[in-house]
Structure 1
Amino acid sequence: MPPIPDPGGKERGTLWQWALQAIGGASVALAVLGLFLPVLPTVPFLLLAAACFARGSDRCYTWLVEHEQLGPLVRPYLDGKGLPLKTKIKAILMVWASIAISAIFLVDLLWVRILLPIIALGVTLYLLRLPTAETDAD
C-alpha cells in the first residue's frame, strides 16, 4: 500500500477536513457509477478521492487504497507506475468534451473561452507525460 502523503499541519475535526471527506466520498460514489456507465470515468474520480482522503482522513485513505475492487484501480498511479492507457484516453476525451461544452454553451467571456482550451492542453500534456501502466484497470 502506498504511504499516506503528509500534507503537513493536519488538524482533526476542522471544517476543511470535513469538506475534503465529503468531496472524497462524492468522488468515490461517482467512480462507482463510472464502473457501470461507460461515459463516466472511474479512475480520475478515485484519484481525486485519494487526494482528498490523504488530506482529510487517514482512515478513509487507507480504506480506499486497500479496498478489494477500488484499490487496484488507484494503486499503480499512487505507486508511480502511471495510468492505464484506456484511463488516459477517457480522461483526455472527458476534459476536451467538458471544455468544449463550457466554452461553446456556458461561457460568454472571450478571455475565458481562450483560457479553457489552454487549461485543457495543460491537462492533456500532463496526462500524456505520465507513465502508462501495463494493465488496463478501468
Structure 2
Amino acid sequence: MSHVRRVVFMALAGVCLLLGVIGAFLPLMPTTCFMLLAVWFASRSSPRFAAWIRQHPRFGPTVTAWEAERAIPRHAKWTAVVMLLVSMALLAFSVSLVWLKSVLIIGLALLAVWILTRPEPVTTT
C-alpha cells in the first residue's frame, strides 16, 4: 500500500473514531457504524490502531461481536433504539415539511426494526 493511501486511510479512521465518540453523546449521530468504519480503515492503515479500537472497553465488544457474528449485543440494541426514538421525536418537532419528516421517521423506524432483529452474540465479548 502506498504511503499516501495509508495516510488517507489513517485520517479517515481517525475521523470515523471521532464521529463515533460524538455519536455516543448526541442523538441523530450513530456510534457503532462509525466505529466499524474506523476499524475497517484502521485495519488497512494501522493494525495497531484497529486493535486498540477492538480492545477498547466501551466500543470494542460491539465491534468484535459484529465482526465475528454479525450480532449486536442487547445493550447496544436498546441504546440504539432509544437514540433512534429521540431522533424521531426531534425530527417530529423540528422538520416542517410533512413529506420529509415522514420519510425520515419511517426510515429511522425501519432501521430500529432491523437493529432489533439482528441476533445477539453467542460468544461472550
User: Is the shorter-chain TM-score for this pair beyond 0.5, marking a shared fold?
Assistant: yes
After the TM superposition, which residues 10-89 of structure 1 pair with which residues of structure 2 at under 5 Å, given as runs? 11-14=5-8, 18-28=11-21, 31=24, 45-55=31-41, 57-58=42-43, 59=46, 60-65=49-54, 67=55, 69-70=57-58, 71-80=60-69, 82-89=71-78
Identical aligned residues as a percent: 20
- Give yes or no for contact 2:20–2:32 (8 Å, CA) kept in 1: yes
Consecutive unaligned residues of structure 2, counting only runs of 5 or more, are none
User: Which letter does structure 1 place at the counterpart of 2:77?
Assistant: K
- Assess, with a 3 A threshold, how the Cα gap between structure 1 residues 68 and 27 changes in structure 2: closer, same or farther: closer
- TM-score normalised by structure 2 residue count: 0.69
Equivalent residue, structure 2, for 1:109: 97
Mapped partners of 1:99, 1:51: distance in 2: 24
- SS where residue 11 of structure 1 aligns? helix
- SS where residue 63 of structure 2 aligns? helix
Asked if residue 100 in structure 1 is aligned to residue 89 in structure 2, the reply is yes
- TM-score normalised by structure 1 residue count: 0.64
- SS where residue 79 of structure 1 aligns? helix
Q: Which has the higher contact order (CA 8 A, sep 6+)?
A: 1
**Which structure features the higher share of helix residues?**
2
- Give yes or no for contact 1:23–1:52 (8 Å, CA) kept in 2: yes
For residue 130 of structure 1, report the CA deviation from its aligned partner.
0.7
- SS where residue 85 of structure 2 aligns? helix
Mapped partners of 1:75, 1:17: distance in 2: 20
Consecutive unaligned residues of structure 1, counting only runs of 5 or more, are 1-9
